[in-house]
Structures are given as structure tokens and as C-alpha cells.
Structure 1
Amino acid sequence: MTADPPLALDIDGTLTRPDGWGIDSRIFEPLRAWDGPVVVATGKAFPYPIALCHFAAIPELVVAENGGVVYTGDDVFVTADREAPRAVAEAYREAGYSLGWGGEDTVNRWRETEIAVNREQPREPLEEIAADYGLEVIDTGYAYHVKDTTPNKGDGIERIADHVGFDLADVVAVGDSINDVSTFAVAGRSFAVENADEDAKAAADEVLEDVHADGTLAVLERVRGQE
């Protein structure tokens, strides 16, 4: 029997419901039954994709924080500066702005290598402050991420592939945002869901007709058993 190909899947905009909020529960059964490695590659903080792997009952192969944290299933690699993003957040607050997530800020509470700022907050001063610390700001469509310029999702997927032992040329990737472009660059086949931004659509091998999890589910059905 032919094995299923390795997957590299984003979360927000890719495994979510059509309204963009919350994991589409239909994704769990196909992932649980998938006969191949599944890498969850996201801009979310490390605990979120780990929890998703737990709930989906799949091995923990995770690229979090846009490549800043990588878990191969055996080792955690922190690939970016921990302190600079926190300094940017403090300077942004001192300039009179807010990260925009409320007092407890669960969006950033467990982040290790970047910060996320609500897209309703001013971007220009954030970019100016980030540049002072040698960092960049990317807009994923869900938040402004202040991050190191070097690590990315694609690098994290390469590290996991080397450790687990699968060929990047076999990887099927699905995503929706500029932070998935590096994933598409290392994957053998790449798909942008219909709701993807223009950067992701331009980088993908194929733009799907369906949005969010509908598009991802269609890809999984198409490529199952094709490795």
C-alpha cells in the first residue's frame, strides 16, 4: 500500500472554519488517519500547535512562531533572539501604543521569539521601532508579527525533515499567507487556499477554489496515497 505524502500545514486561514475563527473539526479525522508525517507550521506560539497535535492525536512535529521555535518530536530548537521582540513591545508601549490584546494578552503570553500585535494598532511606528532592533514586521492577515529576519517556516520544516527522514520533494504544503511562502519554497507541491493573500497565491503551485479548511480537505483527498 502506498503511504500518504508528508504534509506541512498552516493553522489560521488553512485549518480554520470559513469565518476564519476556530479549527474546523472536520480536519481531525483525516489527520489522525494520515499515513505520513504531518508538520504543523504556524505563526502561533509554541503551545498552540502542540495542543492541536494532541487533540488530533498525531505526532508532535511543529514549527511555531514563524520558524522561531521548532520541535522535531525529540528536541526543541529556539532559532531566534528571545529578548529583542520583548524590547520592541516595551518601546511600543512606551510610545503610547498597545499590543491590542487586553490585559492578560494570551496571544503573546507563551511566545518565545516574537511578538504579535493586533492589526488594529498602528503599523508604521511598530515597523520603525522593530527596525531599530534589527527585526521585521510581517502581516499574516491575523496579526502583525515582530520577528527576527532570519528564521522562517521553511527552515523549520527542513530541520524536521532531516530529523524524521522524509524527502522535502515529497512534501505537500497548504497555507494562506506571506509567512507560508518559505514553506512553499521547500515543499514539492504547494497549495494556497482561495482566501490566501497575494504573496501566498503567487508562491504556490496551485491556488485552490475553496477557502480555509474546505480547500485543505480537498487537497488531502486528492493527494492521499500518492507518495
Structure 2
Amino acid sequence: MTTYKLLAVDVDGTLLRRDGSIHHEDLRAIRRLQAAGVPVSIATGRLYSGTRDVARQIGVIGPIACVDGSHIVHTGGDAHLYSRTIFGADATLLRSVIERHAMACFLFAQDSIVHDASGAPHVHYVRTWSSAIAEVERVLSHPYWEHDHGLLALVAIGTERQITAAVEEIRSELGHVAFVVSFPVARDPRASIFAMLVRAAGPTKGTAIAWLAEHHGCSPADVVVVGDWLNDVPMFEVAGRSFAMGQAPESVKQAATDHLEADGSLGGGIAEAIRRAFGH
């Protein structure tokens, strides 16, 4: 039986239940694994500010991967270990695309989120990434666009036509430096609401698992991962063993080595994965 050396888990829909709590069985299983000397980490789409308390709740003192691998931070002292952003002329070009298509915009930078009045109706959607959210007078004029550290990510919300046109333009003009994905947020008979997420090209949860494995002195093949969504597929593809939550889409389940019975809304998936992969 393979002896795995690291567990990395997704947060929303995997570690956290729908109400934001952690199932007691998951918490106990994580603590047993840590007591046995196996480190536990996190790979999430959230900002670090939206993940730190969760990590500390399960006793993770070490690096965790945020913004789908674009930002890696050590929870003991909040030291920034790795960051990939969009900055300089590329950020300026991205801003011009957002302005041209007149979409509501949320900037993810400096471990926080800023928006203006146009984004206020959609704040509930981005709140899962972080609670460090501030409304500013005009987001397109905010200093984050020119900040030396650049943008960790951007979320824009608009009609399907606006989002589709902006995605095509970003892929054409910034495809070498920016990753962009679009998806429906809500469907309304009057107007469907769509969103797009933009972040630096290159990092994924897969590259994050490779980074975390090296940090802990092992290879990705020694890592067990648990997730439930499309952004978890890259880490499924590199880890030695991968578990897809019960509610995961079929395409996500197909990318994993194992399927879990547990549903993320109820919890228990982490405990099930630990029992099956580590015997704890």
C-alpha cells in the first residue's frame, strides 16, 4: 500500500459545508492525520484573507495555496512565499477592456477586494473569496491597477454578450499573460447574468500541489487531494491520489482516481478520503 505524505484539500464544497462550518468527523480525521505526522494543506480559489481563519481552524501551520495557485502564503506569520499577478502594461490593457465593455468589476489585490457602486448588487457573489471587501468611488481609477505587486485576479459581471465579447478580447490581446474563464451567475428571463474570472496565466492548483510537495520534501505522487469543482481538475491530474466529492460534476469525477459518497453540503468527505487513502 502506498504511503502518502501530504493531504491538500479544497475549501468551498469540500472542507466547508454550505453553512460555512466544518463537519466534526472531518475535523477529527484531519487532527488524527496531523498527529500521525502527515502534514495537511489547502488549495483554494479564495484569497488568503478569506482562507487564513479556515486554515487555522484545522491546525494548518505552513504554506497554503490561494487564488488557484497564484498566491502561496505561510499561515505562521502570514509570509508571502509565491505570487503571480497581472501588472504594468498588461494591467492597463485589461482595464481598457473592462471599461470598453462597461461591466461591474471587482479587483483582487493586496489580499483584498475593491469595487464601486456598479458592483454593489453583486457583492454577495464575491464574498466567498474574502470578507476584506471595500467599496470605492470608481474602481477603474483605483491605485491597484498601477500597484507594483499587480492584480491577483479580477471578476467582472455583465450580460452574456458583454462577457463573451470581453473574454474574446482578453484571449486575443492578453492570452500570453492572462487566464480567463466565463460562466453564468444567474439566469433571468429578462437578462442572463454572466461573470468572468481573470488571473495570471500559468499557476493552477496543479502547480500549487507541485510547489507544496517540494516544500514538504516529497513528490506530487505522494500527495492526496480532495476537491469538487473544475478548478480542482489540475490538482487531480498531478496528485498521486485524488478524491472528487459526491456532488462534483461528472467531468470532475472522471478526472479523479476516486469518488466520494459524501456530499459537500453535509460534509464528511475529508474523513472518508483520509480513511480510504491513509487508513486513519
TM-score by length of 2: 0.66
**% identity of equivalent residues:** 25
Q: How has the CA–CA distance of structure 1 residues 221 and 141 changed in structure 2, closer, same or farther, with 3 Å as cutoff?
A: farther
Structure 2 distance, partners of 1:75, 1:125, is 35
- Aligned-pair distance for 1:113? 1.8
Partner SS, residue 7 of structure 1? strand
- Aligned-pair distance for 1:204? 0.5
User: In structure 2, what residue type is equivalent to 1:42?
Assistant: T
Report if the CA contact (8 A) 2:6-2:213 is conserved: no
Q: How has the CA–CA distance of structure 1 residues 86 and 185 changed in structure 2, closer, same or farther, with 3 Å as cutoff?
A: farther
Match of 2:140 in 1: none
Match of 2:270 in 1: 216
Q: Which runs of 5+ in 2 are unaligned?
A: 107-118, 134-149, 186-194
Structure 1 distance, partners of 2:183, 2:269, is 18
Q: Which runs of 5+ in 1 are unaligned?
A: none
1:45 aligns with 2:50: no
Match of 1:198 in 2: 250
Match of 2:190 in 1: none
Q: How has the CA–CA distance of structure 1 residues 16 and 53 changed in structure 2, closer, same or farther, with 3 Å as cutoff?
A: closer
Report if the CA contact (8 A) 2:74-2:80 is conserved: yes
Structure 1 distance, partners of 2:67, 2:101, is 25
User: In structure 2, what residue type is equivalent to 1:32?
Assistant: R
- Aligned-pair distance for 1:94? 4.5
- 1:1-227 to structure 2, matched below 5 A, reads 5-17=5-17, 20-26=18-24, 27-35=26-34, 36-71=38-73, 76-82=81-87, 84=90, 88=94, 91-99=97-105, 102=120, 107=129, 112-117=151-156, 122=160, 123-131=163-171, 132-134=173-175, 135-138=178-181, 144-212=196-264, 213-225=267-279
Match of 2:145 in 1: none
Deviation digits for residues 69-128 of structure 1 (CA, Å, limit 9, x no counterpart)? 12367651113434546853663254222147528765476894212346x753413412
Paired residue total: 222
Report if the CA contact (8 A) 2:41-2:60 is conserved: no
Structure 2 distance, partners of 1:56, 1:66, is 20
TM-score by length of 1: 0.79
Structure 1 distance, partners of 2:184, 2:274, is 24
Q: How has the CA–CA distance of structure 1 residues 165 and 12 changed in structure 2, closer, same or farther, with 3 Å as cutoff?
A: same
Structure 1 distance, partners of 2:256, 2:184, is 17
- Which range moves more in the overlay, 188-197 or 109-118? 109-118
Report if the CA contact (8 A) 2:31-2:58 is conserved: yes
- Aligned-pair distance for 1:32? 3.2
Q: How has the CA–CA distance of structure 1 residues 140 and 163 changed in structure 2, closer, same or farther, with 3 Å as cutoff?
A: farther
Partner SS, residue 183 of structure 1? helix
- Aligned-pair distance for 1:137? 2.2
Structure 2 distance, partners of 1:93, 1:197, is 34
Higher strand share: 2
Structure 1 distance, partners of 2:13, 2:47, is 16
Q: How has the CA–CA distance of structure 1 residues 207 and 45 changed in structure 2, closer, same or farther, with 3 Å as cutoff?
A: same
Structure 2 distance, partners of 1:179, 1:85, is 23
Structure 1 distance, partners of 2:271, 2:83, is 31
Structure 2 distance, partners of 1:164, 1:207, is 26
